[in-house]
Structure 1
Amino acid sequence: MDAPHIVHSRLCAALLIVVGLCLGPAAAQPVPADPVAADTSDVQWETTLPPLTVTASRLPTSPAEAPARVSVFDSSALRTSGASSVAGLLDDRAGLHVRRYGAGGLATPALRGTGASQTVLLLDGQRITDPQIGHLDLSLLPTALLRSVRVMHGPASPLHGSDGLGGAINLQTHPPSSSTEARLAVEGGAFGARGGSLLVSSVLTDVTSVVAAVDYQTTDGDFPYTDESRFPPETVHRRNADRTRQSLYASVQSRVAEHQLRVSGWGTQAERGLPPTSSTAPARARQWDTQVRFWGRDRVPVGEGRLTVSGLAQRTRLQYTDPTQNLDQTGRTALASLETTLRHPVSGRWTMIGGGSGSYARAQHPSLSASAHQHHASAFMEGTGRYGRLTLYPALRTDAYWMPAGTTRWAMSPRLGLNWQPFARWPGLHVKAQIGRSFRVPTFNDRYWQPGGNPDLRPERSWGGDLGIRLDWSHGHAELSAFGHRRRDQITWQPTGNGYWAPKNVQRVRALGGEASVGGAWSLPFGADLRGGVTYTITDARNRTDPGSDSYNEPLRYVPRDQLKAHSTLSWGPAVLALNARYTGRRYVTSDGSQFLEAYVIADTQLRLEHEFGGVRTELSLRLDNALDTDYESVGGRPMPPRHARLRLRLIL
């Protein structure tokens, strides 16, 4: 049987089972949605969520009423997914592709046919993207410190500035609780995996509370795989694939007079080996990552509105060594930002929010010129206008960047969005639409890398839009979206003929596609509950740069055309059975479309037992990853682990 037939057989065996569990019980009774226990494919339905400041708007807006598709993974989704990092969570559940350079390597998002540096990454609404490389490794972000993860699909620059061509990902940390609680988790698994986390929240005074958390994960990563570079191919063990990550987080929240204050800090240290693509190559390269960030905000009422001042300071350090190449290089970045926003109603229909922000970023690396720094300022305005069942969402943002040698770059990003309820008798039916302009300012590597950096690069530009329809009902929701965008001046590194590569504003890209999701909850006989969801994405992103080149109108590299993700959770008494499956389509690895990686299907299952002992809630779970034992690669030459198990114990006080 050839590879495509094997893939489709596994797809039927895994995905259809999960889809059937999600959607099959036609005669079942709906379960009232529970904001704590409910778990859907991408978002809790409107009745379970209070008004949220989601990434599709700075104003409090539920995902159903937003002008764009917004996926929300709440604390229940984080727990039932079993993912220890944001990379694993988004890979399992989100309507996007996570490009993974091996099990312990770099993990970056690809949303609607864009690259890692074309999606905004936010922490409690503040940018944390590395200014040198333009993205952040999602595998360094533990889920144990987070309350939720929210993904906005579509042009995000009108709201969040640079990098918003594909959308935005907003990580929301655990806030201090109004009561004392503690959560402890320990786990272990195959290939030397072990770790744990502890989160404690307490009330200090009537107006002050605090939360602190620590997370530790380590693995040997020495899993077996088939090395096709050998003749004949043989099974070998991954070498130099160990990894250790430790994180510390704390946050204090207080009220002083009318001011609502919150200050937080997060530090992460990680060490990992960087295994070679071939088992016969030397395996001695290593990498150390250190990230420290502090951020805070102050909210105070101003008349009928509210003034918010927020800021962030971040430092990162990345050391790379390879004794075989006589390399030992360390790069450092610093980022500081400050933002002020004022929200105020201006009439019975309109609420406006306006403000400005400023930031300073710099980087130091042996291969960067000494002038790797920039100043940035922005001004923005956004509104919400309600006209019966029609809500308008206009937004406009202007960004300016001041660079060395007197270089200035400007970008203006408008957006118009709407949300319409066409029928009064069906309040759960919403039609969404938006169109907007986005941009990406060149990274420090693009401008100042030696040799090759080009300080004269222009920002990448994009016009994009989408149209969608969403239906919410008592026990679930469904949403269908179609999108398209065109990018120009995309930065591409090309050979110069002088022995090095250099970036140029040359590429044009056209991307079209669609997204569909459905989630629900049902009550089954014998006291059982079933919750689940399915998400499907199709993306056709093509190079439209040079009609005379071999790459013209060919698919972009490493962008899967199709993805299907499904999950279900069956609860019966103290037992919970969770199933996850995902299909990732063919990914081209050459610009002319001549070579590709085969599609693959991954299925994971988890059995969890829950019980309360003397006021302590205890959860014991056994998770089987890659249950179908699929041999696959997310990126060429970077094998992923075979079938393996993990055991986890969780205590909640």
Structure 2
Amino acid sequence: MTLKAMRIPLILLLAILLTAVAAHAQETAVLEGRVVEARTGLPLPGAHLRVAGTPWRLQAGPDGRFRLPGLAPGSYQLEVTHVGYRRRLAEITLGAHVSEALEVRLHPEPVALPDMTVQVAPLPAAGEYAGARVITRETLLREKPRDLAELLSREGLAEITSDGSPGGSRTVSLRGSAAGQVLVLLDGRPLNEAGGGAADLSRISPAEVQRVEVYPQAPASLGMQAIGGVINIITLQPGLREARIQAQASQYGERQGAITLGHGWGGWPVLGIFEHRESNGAYRYRVSPDDGIDLYTRSVGQTLTRAMADYRRDHLALKLDPPGPVQVGYRRTLLRRHNPDYLPVSLLEHDAGTDDDRQEFYLEAQGGEGGWRPELRLAAEGYGQQTWTDYGPQYPALNRRRNLRGEVYGAEAAWRWRQGWRNISLGAGSRWERLWSADLARGYAGRRHEFGYLQVQGDPFAAEGRALRTGLYSGVRADLYSGQQAFVHPRLGLEIVGGREVAWSLRGEAAGAYSLPTFNALFWQEDLQSRGNPDLKPERSLNRELAARISWRGWETGLTGFDREVWDLIYWQLDFDHKWKPLNLYRARISGLEASLAGRTGEGPWHAQATVTSRWMRAVNQTGQPNTDGQILPYRPLNTTTLSLRQNLKALDLDLSARWVSRRYTNDANTQWLSPYTVWDAGLTRTFDLDRGRTRVTLRAEVRNLFDRNYRLVEAAPLPLREFWVSAGLEKSLLSSLLTQP
């Protein structure tokens, strides 16, 4: 089925769903808005809201926002409270099928407390999914990254694989894993390619992201085909009442612009996001011994401008939340990339290009808040890709055009029950992937996937006044592929939290995981150089982790040891007939230690924040072969250290970040390597709050690669030298300011 053919059933399905929802909509209203600090306009997370005379109570989220659907039309009294702020009461009137939005502005009020000792936990024991590192939207808006891969690298959570060019694919690895072993989810839906296995994070617009969760070990409910961990991307939801415009530009002609608009019409919250990126593909680089092929015609140390690739990418996302439990969404990404090869004239120059079109339609439904809460997800995705390579009339046999089409259909049902620390998730689903490509042996490959999981978290020893809290989180997941391959993997973890003035936590866990061979590895059409191997076995692993954290007076330090054994690793190797073929050759052990220190000094608008993380890791080959056994796996650095400093001076922010990466070997025998590198980035942000904080203007200047260092992520792909970026943003709140009087 082509992309054009898919549009008809998707549009019909959307029309039917919206008609059904509208027909069954009840006479209800929606109360929504956000709670902010009256003086600064900053959100107040955790504020408590109560509708007097009703059982309705809720708490504002991390961004200060709240939403309460299902209220009957009429007049109500709303009470809003927050520790350290004056209580607010307001009379509100709600109409049928109307979404009433308001902004609650609370004024500070000192609270006199008796002498007491407060027990504080540095991390929640058995929280949503224990063991996650979370990047919030506040960080996204402050850092303004080019893409999510760049942000994960800056935060010290992942290593990037990229050809260095604007518009190129950006994949990541966690703790020494391969990029294809990391499961990337967008609102619970996998983004990993069926053909190649890895997920391209450049396809995701940072403008639509609410937060990013990074799990070095996969929770049962998120997926077990994740030897290298899980990156779970949660996007913004309808109910956002604001308009945001953001633009960025670099000195080498790379430009980005994004518009985010959240509003509601007749009780139907709508969220729309559009992003455009383009580049002329030129940037400066300096020749080094790591360049490899450039040394045929260039001198080490020479600075050149590379016309690597020009591209244009457009991204559209729409979400609609009609009355009732159903939410529908649509996403589409168009990419056109012209990437001529940069090889010297003396070698085989060629021209190349890529056209990529991806679109997705999905539906989500959730039940009530009490007891067992049901959830349902339905999704359909279609994509098409055309690539071409032209070596000119001198080498017509090397010219090539490739067409690829794919479809993915998925359905998942889950039931969740939560009370206090107790959290139980039970779910099942199915996913069907199909791929058409002339590169595959039969021109087609398909895979059907059924799964089920049970996840239990909580404190079985919960009691009032206990000095220690115990978090037990466990799960088991079963996966069945095409009715033939079955996998069952458990996960078990325990966390103990205690302390009073000095809070601490200990956490340990163990889990199994696997990764299926990609369609390309299984069914690659035999040619002059390579062929697939349908007899490949899945890669398997056993992951273990032990972590400790201590928190005291705004500072937190942590130490994590990890160990991962992987067997049946898939590796492309020359076979007896001198063709590259994927084989289950490798066995590896990846172990290491992560240390972190984060803290904040100062209060109010004058404060500073600092974070440093360092990872020592050994990814050892255990194949038993004489030339490679005991050697370090390619492209796995022994040490990676990141530093982030931020000084806030009222409306002015100064930030400085650094990444230090050690030597990375580029072959199995460890005889060739990429040089270590250190890269510093610096930024200055000025924020203007207008109209009592409901309008915000942000200006930012940034210098990337501050000290003009030449470095490589992969062989023969230099990254840009010093590069200047400027950005501007405008945010306008569309909420009614109903509670602003002191």
Equivalence for 1:380: 453
Equivalence for 2:609: 531
Can you list the C-alpha shifts for 1:154-179, whole angstroms capped at 9, x where unaligned?
A: 2x17333353112100111111235x
Secondary structure in structure 1 of the residue aligned to 2:730? strand
Partner Cα separation in structure 2 for residue 69 and residue 35 of structure 1: 26
**Pick from 174, 178, 183: which aligns with 2:236?**
174
Offset at residue 417 of structure 1 (A): 0.8
Can you list the C-alpha shifts for 1:319-361, whole angstroms capped at 9, x where unaligned?
A: 211111311112122111111111236x998543212111100
Q: Which letter does structure 2 place at the counterpart of 1:607?
A: L
Does the aligned pair in 2 maintain the 1:469–1:481 contact within 8 Å?
Answer: yes
How do 1:300-315 and structure 2 match up within 5 A?
300-301=367-368, 304-315=371-382
Partner Cα separation in structure 2 for residue 344 and residue 64 of structure 1: 17
Can you list the C-alpha shifts for 1:95-148, whole angstroms capped at 9, x where unaligned?
A: 221112213222211111110111110011222211111112112222112111
**Pick from 504, 507, 514: which aligns with 1:439?**
514
**Do structure 1's residue 554 and structure 2's residue 621 form an aligned pair?**
no
Equivalence for 1:43: none
Equivalence for 1:290: 357
Partner Cα separation in structure 1 for residue 203 and residue 547 of structure 2: 33
Secondary structure in structure 2 of the residue aligned to 1:114? coil
CA spacing shift, 1:298–1:631, aligned 2, 3 Å: same
**Pick from 411, 415, 434: which aligns with 2:487?**
411
**Do structure 1's residue 113 and structure 2's residue 181 form an aligned pair?**
no
Does the aligned pair in 1 maintain the 2:244–2:261 contact within 8 Å?
Answer: yes
**Do structure 1's residue 204 and structure 2's residue 265 form an aligned pair?**
yes
Offset at residue 613 of structure 1 (A): 4.2
CA spacing shift, 1:606–1:489, aligned 2, 3 Å: same
Equivalence for 1:146: 209
How do 1:461-610 and structure 2 match up within 5 A?
461-473=540-552, 475-523=554-602, 528-546=606-624, 548-610=625-687
Identical counterparts, % of pairs = 25
Offset at residue 424 of structure 1 (A): 5.0
Offset at residue 312 of structure 1 (A): 2.1
Offset at residue 522 of structure 1 (A): 2.0
Partner Cα separation in structure 2 for residue 310 and residue 617 of structure 1: 36
Taking only aligned residues, the RMSD between alpha carbons, in angstroms, comes to 2.6
**Do structure 1's residue 265 and structure 2's residue 325 form an aligned pair?**
no
Partner Cα separation in structure 1 for residue 549 and residue 328 of structure 2: 37
Does the aligned pair in 1 maintain the 2:505–2:550 contact within 8 Å?
Answer: yes
Offset at residue 371 of structure 1 (A): 4.2
Q: Which letter does structure 1 place at the counterpart of 2:271?
A: V
Equivalence for 2:341: 276
Secondary structure in structure 2 of the residue aligned to 1:515? strand
Does the aligned pair in 2 maintain the 1:163–1:438 contact within 8 Å?
Answer: yes
Equivalence for 1:617: 696
Equivalence for 2:6: none
How do 1:41-190 and structure 2 match up within 5 A?
65-66=126-127, 68-104=130-166, 105-154=168-217, 156=218, 158-177=220-239, 180-190=241-251
CA spacing shift, 1:35–1:277, aligned 2, 3 Å: farther
Q: Which letter does structure 2 place at the counterpart of 1:460?
A: E
**Do structure 1's residue 356 and structure 2's residue 432 form an aligned pair?**
no
Equivalence for 1:321: 388
Equivalence for 1:335: 408
**Pick from 299, 303, 308: which aligns with 1:232?**
299
TM-score, length-normalised on structure 1? 0.85
Partner Cα separation in structure 2 for residue 287 and residue 317 of structure 1: 11
Offset at residue 454 of structure 1 (A): 1.8
Partner Cα separation in structure 2 for residue 350 and residue 571 of structure 1: 39
Equivalence for 1:194: 255
Q: Which letter does structure 2 place at the counterpart of 1:188?
A: A
Partner Cα separation in structure 1 for residue 231 and residue 684 of structure 2: 29
Offset at residue 191 of structure 1 (A): 1.1
CA spacing shift, 1:265–1:535, aligned 2, 3 Å: farther
Partner Cα separation in structure 1 for residue 502 and residue 622 of structure 2: 42
Q: Which letter does structure 2 place at the counterpart of 1:239?
A: A
Offset at residue 231 of structure 1 (A): 4.7
Q: Which letter does structure 2 place at the counterpart of 1:309?
A: L
Once the two structures are overlaid, the 10-residue window that deviates more, 473-482 or 589-598, is 473-482
Once the two structures are overlaid, the 10-residue window that deviates more, 476-485 or 466-475, is 466-475
Secondary structure in structure 2 of the residue aligned to 1:442? coil
Does the aligned pair in 2 maintain the 1:270–1:290 contact within 8 Å?
Answer: yes
Can you list the C-alpha shifts for 1:242-295, whole angstroms capped at 9, x where unaligned?
A: 222211111112441xx3x22222211122233536343514122222221222
Partner Cα separation in structure 2 for residue 556 and residue 107 of structure 1: 20
TM-score, length-normalised on structure 2? 0.75
Does the aligned pair in 1 maintain the 2:176–2:590 contact within 8 Å?
Answer: yes
CA spacing shift, 1:558–1:348, aligned 2, 3 Å: closer
Secondary structure in structure 1 of the residue aligned to 2:141? helix
What is the aligned residue count? Answer: 589
Partner Cα separation in structure 1 for residue 226 and residue 430 of structure 2: 17
Secondary structure in structure 2 of the residue aligned to 1:558? coil
Can you list the C-alpha shifts for 1:5-50, whole angstroms capped at 9, x where unaligned?
A: xxxxxxxxxxxxxxxxxxxxxxxxxxx9x8789xxxxxxxxx9699
Partner Cα separation in structure 2 for residue 353 and residue 639 of structure 1: 46
Partner Cα separation in structure 2 for residue 142 and residue 303 of structure 1: 34
Partner Cα separation in structure 2 for residue 62 and residue 296 of structure 1: 33
CA spacing shift, 1:288–1:91, aligned 2, 3 Å: farther
Does the aligned pair in 1 maintain the 2:247–2:256 contact within 8 Å?
Answer: yes
Partner Cα separation in structure 1 for residue 410 and residue 664 of structure 2: 37
Q: Which letter does structure 2 place at the counterpart of 1:467?
A: L
Does the aligned pair in 2 maintain the 1:84–1:144 contact within 8 Å?
Answer: no
Partner Cα separation in structure 1 for residue 352 and residue 214 of structure 2: 34
Can you list the C-alpha shifts for 1:539-581, whole angstroms capped at 9, x where unaligned?
A: 21111012x3311111111111111111122121322111111
Equivalence for 2:496: 420
Secondary structure in structure 1 of the residue aligned to 2:714? coil
Q: Which of structures 1 and 2 has the larger relative contact order (alpha carbons within 8 angstroms, sep 6+)?
A: 1
Secondary structure in structure 2 of the residue aligned to 1:139? helix
CA spacing shift, 1:604–1:269, aligned 2, 3 Å: same
Equivalence for 2:275: 215
Does the aligned pair in 1 maintain the 2:502–2:552 contact within 8 Å?
Answer: no
Does the aligned pair in 1 maintain the 2:388–2:400 contact within 8 Å?
Answer: yes
Structure 2: gaps (5+ residues): 1-39, 46-60, 65-121, 288-293, 392-397, 463-468, 733-742
**Pick from 354, 360, 366: which aligns with 2:438?**
366
Equivalence for 1:397: 477
Q: Which letter does structure 1 place at the counterpart of 2:427?
A: G
Offset at residue 303 of structure 1 (A): 6.5
Partner Cα separation in structure 2 for residue 287 and residue 201 of structure 1: 33
Does the aligned pair in 2 maintain the 1:128–1:314 contact within 8 Å?
Answer: no
Offset at residue 520 of structure 1 (A): 2.2
Q: Which structure has the greater CA radius of gyration? A: 2
Does the aligned pair in 2 maintain the 1:157–1:163 contact within 8 Å?
Answer: no
Secondary structure in structure 2 of the residue aligned to 1:164? coil
Offset at residue 592 of structure 1 (A): 0.7
Does the aligned pair in 2 maintain the 1:97–1:560 contact within 8 Å?
Answer: no
Partner Cα separation in structure 1 for residue 378 and residue 599 of structure 2: 38
Secondary structure in structure 2 of the residue aligned to 1:89? helix
Does the aligned pair in 2 maintain the 1:80–1:578 contact within 8 Å?
Answer: no
Does the aligned pair in 2 maintain the 1:297–1:310 contact within 8 Å?
Answer: yes
